[in-house]
Structure 1
């Protein structure tokens, strides 16, 4: 599996027979991508789904399937989208995507919540939780770890890494911070030695 971080929560995942794009939002650069197998969206917030740019991306990748959570399915105008619900397994050739999670982490006070799908690729090769600290069902090789946002504090990200115990933890969701290297460094300082890595260090 090859990973490319395209900004904020957006990852390109390349397996032997699939090219999967996760969370192409407003803080990510993904327009140049071709030959996509699927676009997977964890939830409806614009930093995870830039609807206008994704529509253009799908037009340039007509074979790609769009996979969204239930609330995104009702909020965005993508009539052909596959709605992913926790407990389901999607297949793209030999590549599997299991859907977990269910809800976005609480943002603050009475701010409305929304559904959030976490995606487990190839039985634990990668776990992308979206905006949540969803627990994967078993061992995970690479964990995508959100490090900044109004719904989290960095100590929770550290606790998440320690709970999941992945071989590697890749910091994501850093688009709104002015110093993402500092946040990633603090995550690394309080996590088990050598676990927190950039995508290009995997």
Structure 2
């Protein structure tokens, strides 16, 4: 279908759900995936460097006196954040010498009771959160220093949270340049050696007003 329309390359943008082996005709087109949505097949990809962002978040929280960060996400974005958050959590507590049996947890946005129990039992003193979870974060009596990896679509940011805004413009430009290279060299189909290009995200200090943030 795409080839009949004169399309030679396809950019696969990020999706809300994880994609695994979608039924596309791969062989005659050049492909570049943007983001983490496509798990298989393995294509050339441009995505956020979540590991670098989380490392920077940990450093910020440490500056604020946090030594037992909790890593929090929600099931809906498991495919986006799970691997990086879990890896960073295990690495942090392995190297810090602190003991924390469950440093990473996935919770629905409204599971307040389990969130409170996790904070108390793990003695969490700061948070790295995949996306804003205001109901859970406001349920803690004391305000925990928090870093948001990605704001939600409404731009609602909990009070006293800092975080990142993905540099989608840079990822888009990089994806187009990579696609141009593939087409010029006739690298079509599923690559034998897929490349991944990473883009770190600029840091922002969020205001309390929804949808507004300051650099």
| TM-score, L = length of structure 2 | 0.32
Q: Return the index of the structure with the highest Cα Rg.
A: 2
More helix by percentage: 2
| TM-score, L = length of structure 1 | 0.34
More strand by percentage: 1
Question: Which structure carries more relative contact order (alpha carbon 8 Å, separation 6+)?
Answer: 2
